[in-house]
Amino acid sequence: MRRTLIGQLTPGLRMILGNTAWLMVDRVLRMGLGVLVGIWVARYLGPSQYGNLSFALSFVALFGTLTTFGLDNIATMNIVRQISDAHHILGTAFAIRLCGSILAPVLCSASIRWIEPNDPTTYWLVSLLSIGLFFQAFDTIDYFFQSQVQSKLTVWAKNAAFLCAACIRILLIRLNAPLWSFAVAQVGELAMGALGMVVVYHWRGGRMAMWRVQKWRAIELIRQSWPVMLSGMAVMIYMRIDMVMLKLMQGNAAVGIYATATRISEVWYFIPMAIVSSVSPSIIRAKQDPGLYYARIGKLFSLMTLLALVIGSAIALSSHWIIRLLYSDEFIAAAPVMAVHVWASIFVFLGVAQGPWDVSENLMKLGFYRTVAGAAVNVLLNFFLIPRYSAMGAAIATVISYAIAGVFANAFDARTRPIFLLQMKSIKFNALFEPLRASK
């Protein structure tokens, strides 16, 4: 009997494909159900309270990088290379992350007290949510699961917590619960996720009691991870600073309108990540043949531009209908903001598509510089545009800063200029219809 295609795959490849499938299931479930429950919560709370909650979540997220310390890929890679030392690597990484997870809530609460001294509601929301940062230290367990290509175990634990928290949020709405209870639900999700990780780890035979901390290893891990942590901070500022500045300049209602608009326009960002993760190996393998190499990159850029234009056009033209259908007329001011903000997807898609080239050319550091430049431009534009145009100003600033970080910054460096030209040509879509040919 002829074997099926799956049966012909090697065990290692089947494991990798299965692991990837679980991660995709996790992403799709969280995206779909998360958006639906988020819409319900927004309708219940209204623009002002929903804006206050969105601001608090964004403000706490600014400190989230301290809880990871940039260790994610580094610790996993170390375990893969030295599986016999897994207990020492896990124990040391957990100690580092635990220190960050204790420091982050303290800094978060102190910062919001200094920034908003006369807003007790915001202070308590931020303080409650910052407690959740502590539980993120237990994500250290995931380093082991990733190293063994067993991410489905993390998905089980995290999705069980996510589903329970979603049910709790729905129950809170039915009970007419106050605003602070939704912050408690968020912390509860993180706590349940951490507990689930510990339970699954022990179920699979692991024992946290066997973890050990090594001082020399901690120094080495920190030496490797601090640039990644700084890059993560830049990315987080880049992504979250608009809501923080909106709150400080325009108040909670403006944040609620902006958060509503961006929730719909950003939900599509998983598409380029899924596509790029699939085509990256073929692009990197083609590097030895420059003609084929850049032809594949050109096709990817054209595909990304086409997808972003289709999504952007659909969202922009139907923004008022989407807001009225999913939210209510109370949020109608979010429609024009969404119609502008969605065009940032073009530059996000192209920026993600550049990833394989950055890796292949060993120019990831330039990606960090582009992100820092984009974050700086975003902050400066927000200072000028938010006082004049409120949430629309933040949307305009986001589109411009994403354009600089994702595309136009490439024009200022000789090494990335060829990529900039390919990104500019992608609007013609010619590469999509040209056959791939190897160089002679």
What are the pLDDT digits (tens) for 222-256?
888 877 787 778 878 878 889 999 999 999 999 99
The Cα–Cα gap between 147 and 19 comes to: 11
Co-location of 288 and 427 in the same domain = yes
Q: What is the pLDDT of residue 188?
A: 94
Q: What is the largest CA-CA distance in the chain?
A: 75
Residue 47 lies inside a defined structural domain of this protein: yes
Q: How many domains does the chain have?
A: 2
Distance, in Å, from the CA atom of 328 to the CA atom of 50, rounded to the nearest integer, reads 13
- Do the Cβ atoms of 216 and 89 come closer than 8 Å? no
Percent of the chain with pLDDT over 90: 47
* Residues 326 and 386 both lie in one domain: yes
Domain boundary among the residues 233, 261, 285 is at: 233
Nearest to 319 by CA among 340, 296, 299: 340
- pLDDT at position 132: 93
Q: Are residues 262 and 158 in the same domain?
A: no
pLDDT digits (tens, 9 = 90+) for 262-303: 988 988 887 887 787 667 777 877 888 888 888 888 988 999
Q: Report yes or no on 177 lying in a domain.
A: yes
Q: What burial letters (b/e) apply to 37-52, b meaning 16+ CB within 10 Å? A: bbbbbbbbbebbbbbb
Model's pTM, two decimal places?
0.82
- Residues 260, 363 within the same domain: yes
**Residue 204 located in a structural domain:** yes
> What pLDDT is stored for residue 27 in this prediction?
66
DSSP letter assigned to residue 327: S
Digit-coded pLDDT (tens) for 68-91: 888 877 787 788 778 888 889 899
Closest CA to 354 of 291, 405, 292: 405
pLDDT at 12: 47
Question: Rounded to an integer, what distance in angstroms lies between the CA atom of residue 283 and that of residue 219?
Answer: 36
Residue 196, helix vs strand vs coil: helix
Give the domain-ending residue among 201, 233, 265: 233
Residue 321 confidence class, pLDDT cut points 50, 70, 90: very high
One-letter amino acid for residue 350 of the chain: L
The dihedrals phi and psi of 150, each to the nearest 5 degrees, come to: -125, 45
Q: Considering the domain boundaries, does residue 240 fall inside one?
A: no
Query: Which residue do the tokens 């030392």 mark?
Result: 85
Read off the pLDDT band of 429 (50, 70, 90): low
CB atoms within 10 A of CB 1: 4
pLDDT at 13 exceeding the cut of 60: no
In a domain, 239, yes or no: no
Same domain, 177 and 122: yes
Checking if the pLDDT of 22 tops 70, the result is no
**Whether the predicted pLDDT of 34 surpasses 90:** no
Whether residue 175 sits in one domain with residue 56: yes
State the Cα–Cα distance between residues 254 and 202, nearest whole angstrom.
Answer: 46
- Residue 130's pLDDT is 95
Enclosing domain of residue 22: 13-233
Establish if 241 belongs to a structural domain.
no
Q: What is the pLDDT of residue 282?
A: 77
